[in-house]
Amino acid sequence: MDDLSIRAASATDAGRIAEVLSGDPGQEATAICGDAGLARRFGMAFVHLRDSPQGWRHTAVAELNGRVVGIIQAGGATEELRITPGLAFLAVRTFGPWRLPGVLRRLRARARVQTRAPAGSYHVGELDVDPAFRNRGIGGAMLDWAEAQARAGGHKVMSLSTTTVNPARRLYERHGFRVAQTLTDPRYERVTGISGRHLMLKDL
C-alpha cells in the first residue's frame, strides 16, 4: 500500500489513538467492563490519562492519506500495570462505586490467563486497525515495521498475547508467530465466554 506510512505518534494523535484503540471494544474488554459502552468510555479516557501505558508516547500510528487508520504499541520492555491515583479515580468515575467491585472481580479472572513475555523480547502490546480499513494489509505492515524496530534494537524474539478466539491469530501466524503457551481458566471463561489466551513468539 504505497500511500501508507508509519510514524511515531504525537500529542495531536491522542484522540484518534483512543478512537482506534477503544472505539470498537472487543469481547474480553466488554465482558470485564460490563458492557461495550463502559468499555469504550474507560478505554478512551485511559489513553488520555497522564503517563498512560497506552498513551501517545508509547504508540506508533499507521497513516493513510493523512488519516490515522491503525495503531501499534510495542517495545523492548513490558511492565505490570500500576494502579496510580489517576487510574483509580478514572475507574471510580467510569464505573461508580456500585459497579467497581464486579469489574475488579472480573479483572482478577483475567489475570488468571495473563501470559508472560520472555525477558528481552520485543513485545507487541497493542495492534489495532480502524474497522473501516481492515483487510487492506495495514496490520501486516505494522507488524513488519515492528519487526524492523526489533531487529534494529538487537532483539532475538518478538512476543504478543491474544485471546484464543481472536481471528487476528491468522495474521500473526502468516508473519511468523507461533503459539508458545496457552493459558485457560474456567473462571475467565465464565466471565468472558473465551477459553483463554495465547502467548505467541517469533524468533528473529
Phi, psi dihedrals of residue 56, rounded to the nearest 5°: -65, -30
Higher pLDDT, 52 or 162: 162
**Mean confidence (pLDDT) of the chain:** 93
- Closest among 70, 99, 57, 52 to 1, alpha carbons compared: 70
Rounded Cα distance between 197 and 168, Å, is 13
Class of the domain covering 4-203: alpha beta
Q: What pLDDT, on the 0 to 100 scale, is given for residue 120?
A: 92
Asked if residue 6 has pLDDT above 70, the reply is yes
Q: What pLDDT, on the 0 to 100 scale, is given for residue 79?
A: 57
DSSP SS3 for 117: coil
- Closest among 178, 175, 176 to 142, alpha carbons compared: 175
90-112: pLDDT as tens digits: 899 999 999 999 999 999 999 99
185-189, long-range: CB < 8 A, 24+ apart? 185/109, 185/112, 185/113, 187/109, 187/112, 188/109, 188/110, 188/112, 188/113
Percent of the chain with pLDDT over 70: 96
Asked if residue 77 has pLDDT above 70, the reply is no
